[in-house]
Structure 1
Amino acid sequence: MEQYIIVYSKYIITLFMILYTVLSFFRVFCTETGRKKYDNLQSAFIFVIQFAAFLTICVEKGDVDYLFFYAMSQIAIFTAMMMFSMIYPGINRLLVNHMCLLLGTGFVILTRLDLHKAGKQLLISAVSLAVALAVPLFIRRCRFWKKLTWAYAGAGITAIGAVLILGQVTHGSKLFFSLGGITFQPSEFVKILFLFCMAAILWEDSSFKNVALSGAVAAAHILILVASRD
């Protein structure tokens, strides 16, 4: 029985991943009512995928601790889905589903490698989701954030540019630099600055000019990362 679970679970996971992806495309071309139906189906598919993946892990490992972690991770994902929908009724649930799918996939991969590290990641993710819930409210109240387009771009390019110039080479890549005995990996923070920059450029006008402008800013970031072999 255990062997059947291990063998066939991968087909179940693949099937529901394909169905999830197909629904993502169908959702774009349907009415608001249809989108809600597809969103709900996608949410259900996420939990089916998680169940199949963790069932395989539990069978392979034979340890009840993995079952406990599975329960905690599903509670975290379900809570995130519900809280985002309740606090922001007009939110794009497709994005929330994508976030939860990727988050759950990360839990599966990390659990197979190291349950202790997966537990730490679950705690970090729970705190991060709680912070993420408050970010849109904070930005709405502080409207000046929308006007800092080039501040975001400049800070991001300067940060990863500093790594390119001052960074220490590790396994052929420049990822860090040290200042006053403290080591920094700016790319993790630049990801957030980059998203803020893209949002500031496109939030009011997504014309071809602004799309091209956002592409140029993205290219500047990417070229520096390529040069750093990040």
Structure 2
Amino acid sequence: MKIKRDEIKLLLLTYLLCIALFTNLAILKDDMDKGAIYMGLIVCGLITATQILIRKFYPHGDKFLITFACILSVIGIAVLYRLDTDIAIKQLMYFAAGIVVFIALVVIIPDIRDFVKYKKVYLIATLLIMPLALFAHQEVYGATNWIRIGGFSIQPSEFGKITFAIYLAAALHDYEDKNNIIEDFKQLWQPALVVVYSLGCLVGQKDLGSALIFFGISLTMLYVATGKKKYVVITFILFVLGSIFAYKLFPHVQQRVLIWRDPWKYKDTTGYQIVQGLYSISSGGMFGSGLGQGYPGFMPVNTSDLIFAVICEELGMVFGLGIMIIYFLFFYRGMRASFRIKDRFSQLNAIGLSAMIACQVLVIIGGVFAVIPLTGITLPLISAGGSSIITMFFALAILQKISEEG
């Protein structure tokens, strides 16, 4: 009963946050912006429909997962509405599509454990998806990781992350420690080649942000599956050598590293983006300047790469810290689901997808704060981007099913 009460309290707080943000947006103008009110009501309606369907037909799963996703989506849509109404409307449509994907998968998938036998399907899907942007791409800020289909820009690596994690779960679920290097090699050579292949495709696209995420997924799943630190060390060394090779090969990567090492030296040219982000975060202070009271227009790509800087400027570092805590709880609930289930395939899936979310958050927020070089990836469920939000709800549906099995 206590868990149910906590779920209801969190859901009520989600509605309160949604109402507060969109009401604030509505009264920013001299004449009340009714569009903001309507958008807030639509978002609340989508959240309500999702909660009713999940609680009625699938009462045993972890309801915190979908509620956390809704909180992050509410924040993302509200901030995007403040920045660009058209982008916010598109994000609302992507959010609705993500909810449909989530509900459909939860209904359609009978049992995650039954899908381990389709390892070859996941392998072929990964092998086909990862190089797509190498053959038919459009360049965005130096990277060539986007393709255009029917007027829509799609990032194949977003979908590749899902098939990649599921393939590794299927490939590693039968691993047995036989204390023999040759036997281990026979079990691990194929997934190792798939990891190298995927990272190679991302390096070729100059998408080092996604490469870091794929590396984090593979490293986490390898360690959990084998329990051997030596494989983790070997993998890390190979990744470092590959990073050095990419640095030597691509001027775009060299420029990113130079900016990261001393952004102030390039503050008027290539380092302008990261410097403006740091200025915005510092000007917001602990509690922010207020929604609609900042100057996000000075920041390039503020709807995706630097949306966290916008949030910190207008809503404050305390609010930004709260978002990071929600992401941590998201990761924790996913890992918790993996510990509560005995099936190896489901367990590795939960670990891989949870690691995917955690790595993506760490990479983009680390880039915004100049802890690591800034990479052009999205902040999950908050940044503008259809590919990102759809794949996040796809991953969320799998985690939801695993939590029900547990």
TM-score of the superposition, structure 2-length normalised? Answer: 0.39
Given that residues 23 and 36 in structure 2 are in contact (C-alpha distance below 8 angstroms), is that contact kept between their aligned partners in structure 1? no
2:56 paired residue number: 86
**Residues of 2 paired with 1:186 and 1:147: CA distance?**
24
Does residue 60 in structure 1 map to residue 28 in structure 2? yes
**Residues of 2 paired with 1:76 and 1:38: CA distance?**
21
- Tell me which moved more, 47-56 or 150-159: 150-159
Over the aligned positions, Cα root-mean-square deviation in angstroms equals 3.8
Alpha carbons of structure 1 residues 123 and 185: separation in structure 2 relative to 1, 3 Å: closer
Alpha carbons of structure 1 residues 187 and 208: separation in structure 2 relative to 1, 3 Å: farther
Given that residues 77 and 104 in structure 1 are in contact (C-alpha distance below 8 angstroms), is that contact kept between their aligned partners in structure 2? no
Does residue 38 in structure 1 map to residue 15 in structure 2? no
For 2:28, the aligned partner's letter is E
Alpha carbons of structure 1 residues 72 and 145: separation in structure 2 relative to 1, 3 Å: same
Given that residues 133 and 146 in structure 2 are in contact (C-alpha distance below 8 angstroms), is that contact kept between their aligned partners in structure 1? yes
Alignment of 1:56-205 (within 5 A): 56-61=24-29, 62-140=32-110, 145-164=115-134, 167-176=137-146, 185-194=155-164, 196-197=166-167, 200=170
Given that residues 46 and 101 in structure 1 are in contact (C-alpha distance below 8 angstroms), is that contact kept between their aligned partners in structure 2? yes
**Residues of 2 paired with 1:221 and 1:153: CA distance?**
11
Shift of 1:178: 7.5
Alpha carbons of structure 1 residues 122 and 166: separation in structure 2 relative to 1, 3 Å: closer
1:175 alignment partner, SS class: strand
**Residues of 1 paired with 2:175 and 2:47: CA distance?**
32
User: 1:175-220 CA deviation, whole Å, 9 max, x = no partner?
Assistant: 13579xx986422332442454366568x789999xxx8x967786
2:341 paired residue number: none
- Tell me which moved more, 163-172 or 71-80: 163-172
**Residues of 1 paired with 2:110 and 2:63: CA distance?**
19
**Unpaired segments of 5 or more residues in structure 1?**
1-32
**Residues of 2 paired with 1:37 and 1:220: CA distance?**
47
1:90 alignment partner, SS class: coil
Given that residues 66 and 115 in structure 1 are in contact (C-alpha distance below 8 angstroms), is that contact kept between their aligned partners in structure 2? no
For 1:83, the aligned partner's letter is L
- Tell me which moved more, 97-106 or 144-153: 144-153
Alpha carbons of structure 1 residues 184 and 133: separation in structure 2 relative to 1, 3 Å: closer
**Residues of 2 paired with 1:35 and 1:131: CA distance?**
26
TM-score of the superposition, structure 1-length normalised? Answer: 0.64
Alpha carbons of structure 1 residues 59 and 223: separation in structure 2 relative to 1, 3 Å: farther
**Residues of 2 paired with 1:66 and 1:95: CA distance?**
26
* Count of aligned residue pairs for this structure pair: 191
**Residues of 2 paired with 1:148 and 1:99: CA distance?**
28
Does residue 225 in structure 1 map to residue 202 in structure 2? yes
Shift of 1:71: 1.1
- 2:15 alignment partner, one of 47, 67, 87: 47
Alpha carbons of structure 1 residues 117 and 227: separation in structure 2 relative to 1, 3 Å: same
Alpha carbons of structure 1 residues 139 and 201: separation in structure 2 relative to 1, 3 Å: farther
- Tell me which moved more, 112-121 or 93-102: 112-121
**Residues of 1 paired with 2:176 and 2:24: CA distance?**
48
**Residues of 1 paired with 2:89 and 2:131: CA distance?**
34
**Residues of 1 paired with 2:81 and 2:108: CA distance?**
34
**Residues of 2 paired with 1:107 and 1:208: CA distance?**
47
Bigger relative contact order, structure 1 or 2 (CA pairs below 8 A, ≥6 apart): 2
